[in-house]
Structure 1
Amino acid sequence: MTSTEPTIASARGTGPDGDDSIVRKLSTLDRWLAVWILLAMAVGLGLGRLVPGMNDALAKMEIGGISLPIALG
């Protein structure tokens, strides 16, 4: 094998400049983004069940047919 041929590790992106270093550069928030999204969805569903007037209160927060919580989020 010559030095110009790519190695298996570099082809998989697991070398020093591969996926491993990219993951290490991510912040904690970015690493756990899927968990935060699922947690926010669960909290939203829980609030919808536990607070009876939540749907009506959110429906009143519209300007020109656009929901303010959605627009701000």
Structure 2
Amino acid sequence: MTRWLWPLLVTHSQKFKVIQVALSDFTTALWNAMFAMTVIAIIIPVLILLSLQRYFVQGVANTGIKE
């Protein structure tokens, strides 16, 4: 519960609820639907990371270089 405290305090509306809080509210429903929502929540960041992986690796590699 403590990891969801900050999003719960900041968002005052159901309209702006983050996906993790929405998934934690969805625990009473069917397991199949919950797993489907989790996969959808994971796919979007993974696709963004894969498409921008070159820049992510360059940024990590450049943080250790002192000029």
TM-score range, shorter chain: 0.3 to 0.5
Q: Report which of the two has the higher share of strand.
A: 1
Greater RCO (Cα-Cα under 8 Å, separation 6 or more): 2
Structure with the greater alpha carbon radius of gyration:
1
Q: Report which of the two has the higher share of helix.
A: 2
TM-score normalised over the length of structure 2: 0.35
